[in-house]
Amino acid sequence: MRIGSPAPSYAPFFRSTIMSTERRKQFPFDEFEPKWQATWESAKAFRTPNPGDADFDASKPKYFVLDMFPYPSGNGLHVGHPEGYTATDIIGRYKRMNGFNVLHPMGWDAFGLPAEQYAIKTGTHPRVTTEANVANFTKQLKSLGFAYDWDREVNTTDPGYFKWTQWIFLKLYNSYVGDDGKAHPISELEAQGLSREEIDSRRLAYVSEAPVNWCPQLGTVLANEEVVDGKSEVGGFPVERRPLRQWMLRITAFAQRLIDELDGLDWPESIKLLQRNWIGRSEGAEVDFKVADGGQLIRVFTTRPDTLFGATYMVLAPEHMLVDQIVTEEQLPLVEEYREKTARKSDLERTELAKEKSGVFTGAYAINPVNNERIPIWIADYVLMGYGTGAIMAVPAHDERDFEFAKKFELPILQVVQPPEGHDWQGFTDNGTAVNSQFLDGLPTPDAKRRIAAWLEEKGIGKKTINFKLRDWLFSRQRYWGEPFPLIWENGQHAAIPESELPLLPPDLEDFKPTGTPEPPLSKATDWVQYSATATRELNTMPQWAGSCWYYLRYCDAKNTERFVGEEAEKYWMGGGKPGGVDLYVGGTEHAVLHLLYARFWHKVLFDLGFVSTPEPFQRLVNQGLIMGEDGQKMSKSRGNVVNPDDVVNDYGADSLRLYEMAMGPLEQVKPWSMNGVVGQYRFLARLWRLVMVEDQEGEWNFSPQLQDVPADKNLNKLLHKTIKKVGEDIEKLSFNTAISEMMVLNNALTQSEIRPVATLLTFLKVLSPFAPHLAEELYSIIRTQFPQLVPGGFVADVTWPAYDPTALIEDEIEVVLQVNGKRRDSITVPIATPKEEIEALALANARVKEFTNGLTVRKVIYVPGKLVNIVAN
């Protein structure tokens, strides 16, 4: 394809016929933006060759710049989307211009609830809805001129994609974590002769009974996001927790690595902290308490074993297995009632509504192993079955929750920690000194912890332990629109289907209505369910997170039918000698824990099994800030403050939108939208356009006679090189807003000069091109028609980033600010090479300085080279 040879011709704009709704365009972006988008597309301008391709240049370094791919909702693009996308596009284009092979792809996280809910309502197959939404999103994204390699587009609902999601699941299913903390193939356990039960209990994907949100009125299982305050979002019916056979992923086996290996990543510290807190490592000890009379053991976890002497009662989670065994006949009715009541409550109710502590005495007692005291055993919902051992020793004197509970039920409170001066010991939870604790007395808390741990271990009744808040990942959903599990059930046992049967497509259902039982909708496809005469398929589907756990890998080799990603492609794009493979990952903070933790988990499993070459997926992470509405509120349909990017593109063009999204402020910051701000960027681009083009009487744009092939004067040249330098540095720092300001300064200077040197303008366009690629491309090609000898063929997107000339930046003279006692009083302009002594002398002799030092003694003269002189006098 030949580029840019025909001279431009634009239709005149008839002002009189154009109404206010269709305001007159200040430059014909509506013509050239679609033109360049089509040109880039047909020229495959942003196709990225892979290792092995004929046009692949292995000598270039790689740069993998990634956006969090969107869920293609029916609402279309939101102005929040192009914020991150523009940032990565600028980086990607800039890196290309700097000689990198850039991988900058886009795709669709397209499984999910809304399409299924729409199907239930209208009967439209989710595939149809999804296709339409993807088409709309694609059109919208293409209208913004992003330099994606569309050949690498991925879609999580595409069988060619989810074949590999299912394949990775089978890897998880067929792996376990060894003593080395790494994933290994399950075949190793088989070789050791372990039983089927033992093997199943160690798989990274395993079956467990877990509670789901069951809504009897709606006759369906609900996702967490469909439950609001314990009621269904639709209809407001009560939702119960009901245990159901579920698939779980053993992410907890990676908890420590998920914490430790954050260290090598260039992520915001706040996000690392969020992940660490989510994983929630806590060091403590497990202690066994004997049940008096019964003899059963109750194991508790505590971070404060040093307070063991202060344990005056115990609490079991209501669901705790031992409750049935130890409860006395007398207390049984109360305990039963309490257990039933808590079972009905959702997690939300248990926490948010239970401000007031509740609980019931079981009638049983336990023996405190340190002093053989009999202490009562209670059940209470403030002890959670899912954390630790589901049982605690209560030390009311030094734990807020136990303190509250003990006060309410009038249980004894015994001091065992002496706080520092000025603190009340009741409810004191910090470090202090052990008291009333026999052999621990006088020890500071950390020492007491060590001492008691040793003692417990010696007696064989406890040991140091580490606990994590992180739970295993509930991986199954009772939904239609998700990846089916590549598993079957036969004689009550599960088994994987052969890899050759992947992808396992979901059955083509026509009836999407809930089954009315907790059975997943796939159960309706009776033919599909029957795998063989004796085996049936697993009916659950995977959660939406599944597809997004590995999509970045698929981008490296999106069309590979043999492997989830080709080895060579993976090594090249994900390699680079750092822990993480993706060089820059931009997305919202809402994924700080779940998506980013799940993806890291899968990646580590794949790494351990030798399928990928780095231990971490994402080296550098940046969170873009939320864009608020013009009213400063979060954008939402109900507030009516949503801005549609299509409207902005229509009125001001894609380049204006791109520029505005970047000029708003720092990328990471939360900031409000302003349509006037868009206009500012639009005017900037229009002014730049008019540097090259002038409008005649008929409203036709012609090449400007002010643009001439003459050398730039010294000041303009200095400004140009300053701009090249600053914009390049700012892009590297992701400070796009200040880069744009600097380009505006250059633009303003050019506007004000009578003659505009064409070489200056061409360089300016190169610097502008990552930000406003359409206008840059258009003006570049227009200038080529007038100065063919100055403008080589090809896209401006393909040119080399201009190098700035440091010599052009050298100032002949510098302005030195004169301060007296830190206050600016005057400034002097001196030749650059003026020695320090001379500048100081000039400063002291300065009339204004004298005025303010008059009558004072000069104590000190501070000279900051090239900047200022501060005279200290009193």
Partner RNA sequence: GCCGGCAUGGCGAAAUGGUAGACGCAACGGACUUAAAAUCCGUUGGUGGGUGACCACCGUGUGGGUUCGAGUCCCACUGCCGGUACCA
Helix (H, G, I), strand (E, B) or coil at 440: helix
Q: Does 270 bind RNA (CB under 7 A)?
A: yes
- Nearest to residue 353, comparing CAs of 239, 231, 229, 214? 229
Kind of pairing between the strands at 360-367 and 374-379: antiparallel
- Strands (E) located in 69-204: 101-103, 107-108, 154-155, 175-177, 183-185
Beta carbon of residue 672, minimum distance to RNA (angstroms, whole number) = 6
Nearer to RNA, 156 or 681 (CB): 681
Nearer to RNA, 117 or 303 (CB): 303
Nearer to RNA, 427 or 680 (CB): 680
Beta carbon of residue 318, minimum distance to RNA (angstroms, whole number) = 11
Q: Does 815 bind RNA (CB under 7 A)?
A: yes
Q: Does 860 bind RNA (CB under 7 A)?
A: yes
- Nearest to residue 94, comparing CAs of 724, 762, 660, 806? 724
Cis peptide before 503 (omega within 30 of 0): yes
Q: How deeply is 549 buried, as exposed, middle or buried, from its count of CB atoms within 10 A (0-12, 13-18, 19+)? A: buried
Helix (H, G, I), strand (E, B) or coil at 390: coil
Beta carbon of residue 448, minimum distance to RNA (angstroms, whole number) = 14
CA distance from start to end of the chain: 75
Kind of pairing between the strands at 281-291 and 297-302: antiparallel
Q: Does 824 bind RNA (CB under 7 A)?
A: yes
Segment contacting RNA (CB under 7 A): 183-191, 207-215, 814-822, 839-847? 814-822
Beta carbon of residue 376, minimum distance to RNA (angstroms, whole number) = 17
620 pairs with which residues across the strands? Answer: 266
Q: Which of 282, 517, 534, 650 binds RNA (CB under 7 A)?
A: 282
Chain positions 19 to 48 lying near RNA, rule: CB under 7 A, are 26
Q: How far apart are CA 120 and CA 126, in angstroms?
A: 9
Using the 8-state DSSP alphabet, how is residue 27 labeled? S
Q: How far apart are CA 484 and CA 496, in angstroms?
A: 12
Beta carbon of residue 166, minimum distance to RNA (angstroms, whole number) = 29
Q: How far apart are CA 128 and CA 72, in angstroms?
A: 12
Q: Are 315 and 384 in contact (CB under 8 A)?
A: no
Using the 8-state DSSP alphabet, how is residue 380 labeled? -
Nearer to RNA, 94 or 403 (CB): 403
Nearer to RNA, 110 or 360 (CB): 360
Q: Which of 43, 343, 670, 808 binds RNA (CB under 7 A)?
A: 670
What tokens appear for 810 in the block? 């050298």
Q: Which of 98, 136, 515, 827 binds RNA (CB under 7 A)?
A: 827
Nearer to RNA, 166 or 213 (CB): 213
Beta carbon of residue 350, minimum distance to RNA (angstroms, whole number) = 6
Q: Are 6 and 42 in contact (CB under 8 A)?
A: no
Nearer to RNA, 37 or 467 (CB): 467
Nearer to RNA, 231 or 683 (CB): 683
Q: Does 537 bind RNA (CB under 7 A)?
A: no
Q: Does 234 bind RNA (CB under 7 A)?
A: no
Q: Does 469 bind RNA (CB under 7 A)?
A: yes
Chain positions 611 to 650 lying near RNA, rule: CB under 7 A, are 634
Query: CB-side exposure of 57: number of CA atoms within 13 Å?
Result: 10
Binding mask 365-394 for RNA (x = CB under 7 A): ----------------xxxx-xxxxx-x--
Instruction: Say how many C-beta atoms besides its own lie within 10 A of residue 462's C-beta.
Output: 24
Q: How far apart are CA 147 and CA 482, in angstroms?
A: 30
Q: Are 102 and 739 in contact (CB under 8 A)?
A: no
Q: Which of 117, 680, 700, 794 binds RNA (CB under 7 A)?
A: 680
Nearer to RNA, 137 or 378 (CB): 378
Q: Does 663 bind RNA (CB under 7 A)?
A: yes
Cis peptide before 615 (omega within 30 of 0): no
Chain positions 335 to 364 lying near RNA, rule: CB under 7 A, are 350-351, 354, 357-358
Nearer to RNA, 411 or 525 (CB): 411
Nearer to RNA, 4 or 625 (CB): 625
Q: Does 829 bind RNA (CB under 7 A)?
A: no
Helix (H, G, I), strand (E, B) or coil at 498: coil
Nearer to RNA, 133 or 465 (CB): 465
Instruction: Say how many C-beta atoms besides its own lie within 10 A of residue 569's C-beta.
Output: 21
Residues 6+ apart with CB under 8 A from 858: 844, 871, 872, 873
211 pairs with which residues across the strands? Answer: 243
Chain positions 734 to 793 lying near RNA, rule: CB under 7 A, are 735, 737-738, 740-741, 744-745, 748, 751-752
Chain positions 562 to 621 lying near RNA, rule: CB under 7 A, are 589
Nearer to RNA, 185 or 665 (CB): 665
Q: Which of 5, 75, 277, 650 binds RNA (CB under 7 A)?
A: 277
Chain positions 296 to 315 lying near RNA, rule: CB under 7 A, are 300-304
Binding mask 110-149 for RNA (x = CB under 7 A): ----------------------------------------
290 pairs with which residues across the strands? Answer: 297, 367
For RNA (CB under 7 A), the number of binding residues is: 84
Binding mask 426-465 for RNA (x = CB under 7 A): ----------------------------------------
Q: In the β-sheet with 868-873, what is the strand arrangement from edge to edge? A: 823-831, 813-820, 868-873, 858-864
